[in-house]
């Protein structure tokens, strides 16, 4: 499933085969939480901006429109007319961040919907059933996303429970995949490493879940308030205990610099709402740094958002026009900004792959790791 093509230090260049196509890694997955990119981008748009993998969320799609409805419509690929690979997050993060009055038991979590307040129960089996109905290519294990900081004793107990939940996820997805009416019988399960910023817990948990021989593994529970240095230290501690022949996914990260630095430390998969969220507020990524397109200095600027960018927006429209759209509160402003930012992130990982192919990643990292996160 995963083929390691080349390494430069810890940085990895690889390929990952899924039922809906081969993914070139490192890769940035474009986040379409509810089956759409916030910013009015369609599946066709994603193709045009170089997206390889689309990411949707189990929790949100379970609540609306309902995973059984999506199944009846032929699965998420057909529903949103996306023929490439899809990864679905398990819903664990949303259960612990959005839902109210939640109660954690060994069986799973009871909580109230953030939409209408109705009571819902979700555990490993329920998460796998929902993701099986959605028919994604990669299903994420149901886990507890621990707050940072948290008491070490609680983190240890939580990780033990997350491991037991992972064992149940593996059994449940295996059963769903074996059914004759499975939407995507080739659906793969990724396990998630937890442990807050306690390196010893992280390492112990990683060793345990690696024994389950899953198709891939993620590092979860980061980018939730810890410093960049703490995040990088945690990645370095865990990475050497992750299987070399399986893809590594850093969940919810991050800035362009975070991605470059994490590739340097051996990570293959990334996702983050940042390019879309920041874009909707006029913060645009360029190869020279981050600009706020709403600034007055762009009012008469005829240049594209980024002269080095060949996205559909930069090929046709000026900074002045995009700024005008924001000031006039036109919906087109968000669409253009999100399209540009996602193209930038997809192009960033494409350039990282190119540098690894050419043996020049160290030079690429030195040139871009800091500047891409700098506001100009």
Are 16 and 25 in contact, with CB atoms under 8 Å apart? yes
In 3D space, the residue among 45, 90, 48 whose CA is nearest the CA of residue 218 turns out to be 90
Q: Phi and psi (nearest 5°) for 85?
A: -65, 145
In 3D space, the residue among 126, 127, 31, 124 whose CA is nearest the CA of residue 86 turns out to be 31
* Marked catalytic residue, from 45, 67, 89, 137: 89
Q: Answer yes or no: 72 catalytic.
A: no
CA angle 57, 59, 60 (to 5 degrees): 70
Residue labelled with tokens 């260049």: 13
Q: Answer yes or no: 116 catalytic.
A: no
Are 84 and 53 in contact, with CB atoms under 8 Å apart? yes
- Specify the long-range contacts of residues 173-179, CB closer than 8 Å, at least 24 apart: 173/128, 173/131, 173/132, 173/139, 176/128, 176/129, 176/132, 177/132
Q: Which residues does the annotation mark as catalytic?
A: 89, 271
């Amino acid at each position: 499933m995963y083929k390691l093509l080349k390494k430069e230090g810890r940085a990895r260049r690889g390929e990952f085969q899924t039922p809906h196509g081969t993914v070139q890694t490192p890769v940035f997955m474009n986040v379409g939480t509810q089956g759409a990119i916030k910013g009015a981008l369609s599946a066709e748009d994603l193709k045009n901006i170089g997206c390889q993998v689309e990411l949707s969320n189990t929790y949100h799609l379970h609540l609306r429109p309902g995973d059984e409805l999506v199944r009846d419509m032929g699965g998420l690929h057909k529903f949103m007319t996306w023929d490439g690979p899809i990864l679905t997050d398990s819903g664990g993060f949303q259960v612990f961040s959005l839902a109210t009055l939640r109660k954690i038991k060994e069986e799973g979590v009871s909580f109230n919907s953030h939409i209408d307040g109705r009571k819902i129960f979700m555990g490993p089996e329920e998460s796998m059933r929902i993701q099986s109905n959605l028919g994604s290519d990669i299903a994420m294990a149901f886990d507890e996303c621990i707050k940072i900081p948290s008491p070490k004793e609680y983190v240890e107990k939580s990780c033990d429970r997350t491991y037991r939940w992972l064992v149940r996820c593996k059994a449940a997805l295996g059963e769903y995949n074996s059914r004759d009416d499975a939407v995507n019988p080739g659906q793969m399960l990724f396990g998630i490493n937890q442990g807050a910023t306690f390196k010893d817990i992280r390492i112990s948990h990683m060793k345990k879940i690696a024994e389950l021989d899953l198709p891939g593994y993620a590092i979860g529970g980061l980018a939730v308030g810890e410093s960049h240095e703490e995040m990088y230290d945690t990645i370095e501690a865990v990475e050497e205990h992750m299987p070399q022949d399986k893809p590594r996914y850093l969940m919810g990260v991050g800035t362009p610099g975070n991605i470059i630095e994490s590739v340097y430390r051996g990570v293959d998969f990334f996702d983050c709402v940042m390019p879309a969220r920041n874009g909707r507020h006029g913060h645009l990524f360029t190869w020279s740094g981050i600009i706020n397109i709403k600034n007055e200095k762009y009012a008469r600027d005829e240049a594209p958002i980024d002269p080095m960018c060949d996205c559909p927006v930069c090929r046709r429209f000026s900074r002045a026009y995009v700024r005008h759209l924001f000031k006039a509160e036109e919906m087109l402003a968000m669409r253009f900004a999100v399209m540009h930012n996602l193209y930038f992130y997809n192009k960033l990982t494409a350039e990282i792959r190119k540098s690894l192919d050419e043996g020049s990643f160290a030079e690429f990292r030195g040139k871009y790791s800091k500047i891409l996160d700098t506001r100009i």
